[in-house]
Amino acid sequence: MQRRDFLKISAAGGAAAALEGCGNPDHQLIRFIPEEDLLPGIATWKPSICTLCPAGCGTLVRVMQGEAEVVRNGQLGILKMGLAKKIEGNPAHPINQGKLCPRGHAALQVTYHPDRIKTPLQRTGNRGSGQFKEITWDEAIKQLVSQLSALQASKEQGRLALLASPLRGERRTVLNNFAAGFKSAPPIEFEFFDNRVLQSANLQSFGHASLPTIDLGQSNYVISFGADFLGTWNSPVAQSVGYGHMRKGRPGQRGKFVQVESRVSQSGASADEFIACPNGVEGMFALSLAHVVLRDKLRAGDAAGHAGSLIDGWSQGLPDHAPEKIEKQIGVSAATVARIAHEAAAAGPAVVLIGDAATAQTNGLFNALAVNALNALLGSVGKPGGLSFGAGWSEPPASAAAGKGAADSIQKLVAQLQSGSDAARVLLLFNANPVFGTPAAWGVHDALGKVPFIASFGSFIDETSALADLILPDHSPLESWLDDVPASGSARTVVSLAPPAMNPLHDTRSMPDVLLDVAHQLGGDPAKALPWKTYDEALKATFTTLYIEKGSQTAKDPDEFWKKAQEQGGWWSADEKTPAPAVGKFSGSPAKIPAPQFDGAPEEFPFHFLPFASQMFYDGSLAHLPWMQEAPDPLSSVMWGTWVEINTRTAEKLGVKMGDTVEVASAHGKLQAPALVTPAIAPDLIAMPIGQGHENFTRYASGRGANPISILAPMTVESTQSLAWAATRVKVSRVGEGKIVMFGASMDETPASTKHR
């Protein structure tokens, strides 16, 4: 406590005592007439959908009456209204089956965040200065419409750019239709963990451009190459439910889980066997497993079908990948490889996963293709206890993912802005934060700064929306109509739907409703492309289509179907039948597994650099939630900050102690953060969680820690345009003493006293 605070508070206390006679200030606020008829103290549960990550878990929101301080018609007052109090998993939902991850619980704080944008804002200061003034919705929409009309008038519709974090379901339709109707370029989708490399590999191997749904619950042997499937990757809650079942849900039967990676991740920590393997050789490892399976005739080579035919040398039994030949390269003994291959083949059903850093190498696509082939060889595709594809109702069009990453579009946008030709003149921003989520070397911040007019629909000011000229704040998810079509996570077809769980707290408007409004004001083609008055009308139309396509046993007409879906949290197919294995024929053009490339000379930059998804902040978009900031990271127990993981021995050599500030420098930038000395990372690796290091992202996240994305090299995954975010080399040096806030103290070794006897 500073002395200044003391004086201030003493003075304030004195003033309060003096003013006490005036009564409780709460009583001086007027009370608005409640809009809802709720019983006090009695909770109702309303279905909703978690929107914080692409998994699309179904939730139940506990709503109770409370007294909220709200502004209505420009006046501050107290309103009795239904308030969301807690989010739980929806037990009926096929994805998460009543369970939830830590991030899902904290979704509540998005709605009640003190720094949520409460009204439309217009920029007053310089770009990025964060100075805005409050305006009305009428003014805001007028401004946007006039900007768009100006483009129409000058026949420059192509110069409207839409930049969104990947949307699904009806929101995606609304946005696409808006772009199509306006005749602008299609929306650019951006998120850091876009998984497009894996989607692309799956498209090539199996004909499905989506992530796999993994039937862990019935699997007996799980090998994961780098995929943090229990933490953040793909559909973590669904996978955790399955994992629990695999481990202890079947009496007398317990599956084995092998994790292969260079740093013990959240998932790797639970593995029965942890195999250290350098970054980039996952594909070789997978193929040497396949070699053993083929060599020892555990499976027939053509069992891999089309997926195998994509791999060079498959038909000859992968002679180049004999474990004895490559054990030095992959850093795993031939005996271990042979044992794992035999175990996996014998235990069956077995499944092999790949994700995260293993696909973020320059050779990530090939690593994924190799794993796909191994899966096919082991007979895991489309089988119980294996993986399956295509359960989603409306899978994203194959072309969207095939062979291109988010980087493709965003880099194009940046290049256009830098060169000035065909550059965007109006940019609409939908929650995407590429300024935070791309390497500084890409120059996204400066390029976006050149766009003459940016309008953001986000609920918060972040690094990207700080550049906006106009902010049209969206409702929070709990205040909105929600829908989702998760592509993985359940073998059933799932279309989630949820009406708003509570009335809006602030003067915000639902983003799709605003787009509909704008389209109607523009008239012409945009209005024709979006024929609905409101978003829920659009949703209802979609559900009518769904009813007609899929039918229903319980609902007799589309109206009832629509109503029941709202009550249940969506619609899902009754059967869990996995689609037929899309293995295909043994044909295709084989690809060699190329060696991974890394940016930076090993002499100057001796360490590999591994940014990883934070269990609490995911890709950084959740760093503004105080619960997430204060929840200790499961592995490091760090709260309210970031850290740089360094192997114990390496740290000793560098003279770095726990908590010392270290500088991590790549050829493209440097950052400082406290060191976390740990035995759970390879000695030649430096790892850092993504999520902190926000310059401008609410009071809880701003100016906290460092952002590892910023120093990444602009390397891309070969044959795609995705960022190879695990392909940078760095050097590390000690700067001085630092500060690291950890909830756990000594956790390096379990002392005898805590061992169970």
Partner 1 sequence: MILGVIVLTGAILGRTMPADDSSTASQPAAQTSPIFTTAHRTVGDAVREFFGTRTKPVQPIAYTHKVHLANGMQCTDCHVGVDQGPDARIPSVNFCMTCHQVIATDKPEIKKLAAYRARGEDIPWQRVYGFEPSAHVKFNHAPHIRAGVDCAKCHGDMHTQTVAERKVDHTMGFCVECHRQNNASVDCVTCHF
Partner 2 sequence: MAHQWGMVIDLDRCTGCEACVVACHAENNISTVGEDQAARGRAKHWIRVERYYEGEFPDVKTKFMPVLCQQCDAAPCEPVCPTFASYHTIEGLNGQVYNRCIGTRYCANACPYNVRFFNFYNPVWDKPLNLQLNPDVSVREVGVMEKCTFCVQRIKASEIQASSEKRDVKDGEIQPACVQSCPTKAMVFGDLSDPQSEVSRLARSNRATKLLGELGTLPKVTYLQRDSWHAGEDS
Partner 3 sequence: MPAKTPEQINEDLLRPLGGASARYLTALAFFAGIVIAAFCAFGWQVYAGIGVAGIRRPVFWGFYITNFVFWIGLSHAGTLISAILRLANATWRRPVTRCAEVITVFALSIGATFPVIHLGKPWLAFWLFPYPSERGLWPNIRSPLLWDFFAINTYLLGSVTFLLLPMIPDMALIRDRATGLRKKIYSVAALGWRGTPKQWHRLESAMQIMAIAVIPVAVSVHSIVSWDFAMAPVPMWHSTIFAPYFVAGAIFSGIAALIIAMALLRKFLHLEEYLLRVHFENLGKLLLVMSLLWFYFVFAERLTAWYGNEPSEMTVFWVTQTGSYSPLFWLMVFCNFVVPFPILAIKKLRTITGTVIASIGVVIGMWLERFLIIVPSLSHKYLPYSWGTYRPTWVELTITAGTFAAMAMLYMLFAKTVPIISIWELKAKEHPTSDHAPALAQTAEEGAD
What string marks each residue from 684 to 713 as x (binds partner 1 by CB under 8 A) or -? ------------xxxx--x-----------
Q: Is 74 in the site for partner 1 (CB under 8 A)?
A: no
- Which position has the token pair 């508070």? 9
Q: What sections of 258-397 are H helices per DSSP?
A: 282-295, 305-309, 323-330, 334-347, 364-377
What residues numbered 547-566 form the site for partner 1, per CB under 8 A? none
Backbone angles phi, psi at 549, to 5 degrees: -70, -45
* Nearest distance from C-beta of residue 298 to partner 2, angstroms: 14
31 binds, among partner 3, partner 2, partner 1, none (CB under 5 to 8 A by kind): partner 1
- Which position has the token pair 């030095």? 328
Q: Is 131 in the site for partner 1 (CB under 8 A)?
A: yes
* Binder of partner 2 out of 276, 341, 485, 671 (CB under 8 A): 276
Q: Is 7 in the site for partner 1 (CB under 8 A)?
A: no
88 binds, among partner 2, partner 3, partner 1, none (CB under 5 to 8 A by kind): partner 2
* CB contact at 8 A, 532 and 518: no
Dihedral of alpha carbons 165, 371, 722, 403, sign: negative
6 binds, among partner 2, partner 3, partner 1, none (CB under 5 to 8 A by kind): partner 3
Dihedral of alpha carbons 310, 315, 319, 321, sign: positive
* CB contact at 8 A, 593 and 363: yes
Residues in CB range of 450: below 8 A, 6 or more apart: 417, 418, 420, 423
Q: Which of 172, 189, 625 is nearest to 407 (CA)?
A: 189
CA–CA–CA angle 168, 46, 503 (5° rounding): 80
Q: Is 277 in the site for partner 1 (CB under 8 A)?
A: no
Q: Is 112 in the site for partner 2 (CB under 8 A)?
A: yes
24 binds, among partner 3, partner 1, partner 2, none (CB under 5 to 8 A by kind): partner 1
| Contact residues: partner 3, CB under 8 A | 1, 6, 9-10, 13, 637, 744-747, 750-754
* Binder of partner 2 out of 119, 288, 456, 615 (CB under 8 A): 615
The whole-angstrom separation of Cα 710 and Cα 706 is 9
What string marks each residue from 4 to 43 as x (binds partner 2 by CB under 8 A) or -? -------------------------------------x--
3-state secondary structure of 644: strand
752 binds, among partner 1, partner 3, partner 2, none (CB under 5 to 8 A by kind): partner 3
Backbone angles phi, psi at 121, to 5 degrees: -125, 145
Q: Is 414 in the site for partner 1 (CB under 8 A)?
A: no
The whole-angstrom separation of Cα 225 and Cα 275 is 10
Given the complex with partner 3, which of 13 and 125 has the nearer CB atom? 13
* Binder of partner 2 out of 220, 476, 490, 621 (CB under 8 A): 220
* Nearest distance from C-beta of residue 743 to partner 3, angstroms: 8
The whole-angstrom separation of Cα 29 and Cα 473 is 26
3-state secondary structure of 63: strand
What residues numbered 531-570 form the site for partner 2, per CB under 8 A? none
- The region of 155-163, 205-213, 557-565, 738-746 touching partner 2 under the rule CB under 8 A is 738-746
CA torsion, ordered 14, 19, 21, 27, to nearest 10 deg: -120
Here the tokens at position 345 are 């083949």
CA 735 to chain centre: 33
- The region of 94-102, 282-290, 394-402, 559-567 touching partner 2 under the rule CB under 8 A is 94-102
* Binder of partner 2 out of 64, 398, 555, 595 (CB under 8 A): 64
Q: Is 741 in the site for partner 2 (CB under 8 A)?
A: yes
241 binds, among partner 2, partner 3, partner 1, none (CB under 5 to 8 A by kind): partner 2
Backbone angles phi, psi at 16, to 5 degrees: -65, -40
Q: Is 299 in the site for partner 2 (CB under 8 A)?
A: no
Kindly state the helix (H) or strand (E) to which residue 162 belongs, with its residue range.
Answer: strand 160-164
The whole-angstrom separation of Cα 654 and Cα 71 is 56
8 binds, among partner 1, partner 3, partner 2, none (CB under 5 to 8 A by kind): partner 1
Buried b (16+ CB within 10 A) or exposed e, 123-133: beeeebeeebe
96 binds, among partner 2, partner 1, partner 3, none (CB under 5 to 8 A by kind): partner 2
* Nearest distance from C-beta of residue 630 to partner 1, angstroms: 12
Longest dimension (CA), the chain: 91
Chain positions contacting partner 1, by CB under 8 A: 1, 5, 8-9, 12-13, 15-17, 19-20, 24, 27, 30-34, 39-42, 77, 80, 114-115, 121, 130-134, 461, 696-699, 702
